[in-house]
Amino acid sequence: MNFLIVLLAIILLEAYSELGFVQRDNWLRKWHSALHKLGLSSQPSALGLIVFLAVPLLLLYLLLSTLAQQGLGLFVFLLELVVLLYALGRGNLDTQIALLTSDLQRDDLQAAFHDAAVFNTAYREGSAESAEDLKEEVFAALPYRIFERSFVVIFWFFLLGAPAALAYRLLALYGDLRLDSQDSRAAKWLWLMEWLPVRLLGITLGLVGNFSHAAGSTRQLVFSRSIGSGEFLRSAIKGALQSKEAAPTLDAQTINDVVSLLGRAMTAWLVVIAILVILS
């Protein structure tokens, strides 16, 4: 059933691009504010973050279990679909990529600097000052944004179900919404949830791109405890594209190559999952 839910979620996102009525986060701000009033979110220990995550996840688990016990399979299906859509990220990434590609085709670097900032992993204005800097920034940020809005969420959804997918998105939103800019625990836990999926994606990028170069670029980084997911993906993407990365500046074709490479990797994993579902 999980595979059908994922396919339906992808179809809905392709058809409607943005699902703002599902991906509203006001409740999350209110929940964090309530914890802050209780003094939990300001605790030096991890208690505040644990409660912030545990209560929504426990409620979701209990609701799914209750529906399943009552034989309401259709409602379980619909609830898991809604949770997956909520967890798949924010904003219309295709539109944002199209804007950046259009800027590069017009050689409008000023507009490209502005439109590339939306991919920044901290959702703030980028630091690029030259065309070369812009290329490095996009190579680090764009693959990660595609990864965190698709691959990692679907990975946890298949492995541990809707609560795990929701846990990932809540951790990501904890940083993206700047609910606590001084607490690095959420970022560390997010990194832990991304550790295995990002490395599996790195291997897949090599298989659908240039394997020897991709493997060479990431071999020393596989067991690193300090490298972020964005940096790991940048190395994997550069290796998989090989000569495409050699140009000193960013162009529209390079953006298309990056998006196409990640699309092939995602398709490869969906095929693998479909085969596993059939065999099981």
The residue range of the domain holding 180 is 2-14+24-279
**Tally of CB atoms within 10 A around 224:** 12
Residue reference for tokens 């240039």: 210
Question: Is 19 contained in some domain?
Answer: no
pTM comes to 0.89
Cβ atoms of 165 and 153 closer than 8 Å: yes
Low-confidence ranges of the chain (pLDDT < 70): 17, 41-45, 121-130, 181-183, 243-249
| Structural domains in the chain (count) | 1
Which residues, 6 or more positions from 212, have their beta carbon under 8 angstroms from its beta carbon? 206
* Type of residue at 1: M
Mean pLDDT of the chain: 86
Measured at the alpha carbon of residue 174, what is the angle toward residues 171 and 176, in degrees to the nearest 5? Answer: 110
Question: Is 214 contained in some domain?
Answer: yes
Rounded Cα gap, residues 172 and 170, in angstroms: 5
**How far separated are the first and last CA of the chain, in Å rounded?**
12
Cβ atoms of 216 and 70 closer than 8 Å: no
Rounded Cα gap, residues 229 and 175, in angstroms: 15
User: What pLDDT does 5 receive?
Assistant: 94
User: What pLDDT does 69 receive?
Assistant: 95
Cα diameter, the chain: 60
